[in-house]
Structure 1
Amino acid sequence: MLIGNGWDLHKHSALKPMYLAGLEFDEEGFEGYSDGDIILHALCDALLGSVGKKDLGHYFPSKQPTEKGIRSTVMLEKVLEIIDYDKLKVRNVDITVISQRISISEKRENLEESISKLLNIEDSKVNIKGKTADFLGLIGDKKASASLVTILLENA
């Protein structure tokens, strides 16, 4: 069994659309060199960590002009190649979005379906939860949102 853990946080920005799990929402997005998808960034780090690879920033440095504005779905595709994903089997993906601003309950089904399609797994293997920060810190002040991802894999 292989276990990976990933985390990401971005400040909100009215200048960009919101991307979560590869889907675009008509809400205020996130600052970032890429599209700022906090779910996919945390998922990429969890996948990389599960096989002992370096973090996402190592493979997609924000100082590279070619990476500016990159979609996180493209990053995920490259990460799946890096970790030899076709030789692995996902048992479970557990995702927590921490935000005072984003309502996960309204988006949960679409987000879980998107993750299952991106990873080519059954919907039942993906779980997404929403939490708040009880109005504490940057997240509680609605200035930022974060995502935590834990993934359990095994060799295929």
Structure 2
Amino acid sequence: MKIKVGFGYDVHQLGEGEELWIGGIKVEHTKGSIGHSDGDVLIHAICDALLGAANMRDIGFHFPDTDPQLKGVDSKLLLDKTIGLIRKNGYDIGNIDSTIALEKPKLKGLIPEMQRVLAQVMDIDIEDIAIKATTTEKLGFVGEQKGIAAYATVLINKS
């Protein structure tokens, strides 16, 4: 068995009146992610980590923000397609460890639903998806509530 590790990172600017999608669920807030798709930073970071681990470039290569068909797309669809790509190359997911950096709103009560949705999209056990949330103690663009960031590390294996 061959084991590989991948790391993903994504960031989006926050804007008034935009929808905030994180981990496949809509989060109620006055600000949301600005992006070509729905701006789900957690899913984008996970996609990048999976593609990187499989040495298949990155999310922008497979799903460019210049593609008009992807304007406003649900990031769960991008994740589903990413899973298809890595599985086509013989990889399965071992586990995912991720962190969302956002000053407000607090996410701890929403994490179980994010895990449920992501497990369903990726067809993996919920126990194999760790999601943590943090602030940046009011420092930087996240702390100033100008943006949101997400980090993901994945373990994939090939039999």
Q: TM-score, normalization: structure 2?
A: 0.91
Structure 1 20/59 Cα, relative in aligned 2: closer, same or farther at 3 Å?
same
Segments of structure 2 that go 5 or more residues without pairing to the other structure are none
Structure 1's 113 and 42: CA in aligned 2 closer, same or farther, altered over 3 A? Answer: same
In the TM superposition, residue 15 of structure 1 has moved relative to its aligned partner by 2.9
Give yes or no for contact 2:54–2:91 (8 Å, CA) kept in 1: no
User: What displacement does 1:16 show?
Assistant: 2.1
What do residues 74-109 of structure 1 show as CA deviations (whole Å, max 9, x unaligned)?
111221222226833322110100111131211111
Decide whether aligned partners of structure 1 residues 31 and 88 sit closer, same or farther in structure 2, where only a CA change above 3 A counts.
same
- Shift, 1:2, TM fit: 1.2
- 1:102-124 CA distances to partner (integer Å, 9 max, x unpaired)? 31211111111112111111111
Q: Which residue of 1 aligns with 2:108?
A: 105
Match of 1:2 in 2: 4
Q: Does the 8 Å contact 2:13/2:146 carry over to 1?
A: yes
Which residue among 81, 84, 109 is the counterpart of 1:81? 84
RMSD: 1.5
- Taking a change above 3 Å as real, the CA distance of residues 141 and 128 of structure 1, as seen in their structure-2 partners, is same
Question: 1:67-78 residue pairs with structure 2 within 5 A?
Answer: 67-78=70-81
Task: Describe the superposition over 1:1-27 as per-residue Cα deviations: whole angstroms up to 9, x where unpaired.
Answer: 111110001011223211111111222
Kindly, what percent of the aligned residue pairs are identical? 28
Q: Does 1:46 align with 2:41?
A: no
1:104–1:26 Cα change, 3 Å: closer
Mapping 1:5-154, distance limit 5 Å: 5-27=7-29, 28-84=31-87, 87-154=90-157
Aligned mate of 1:155, from 147, 154, 158: 158
How many residues matched?
156
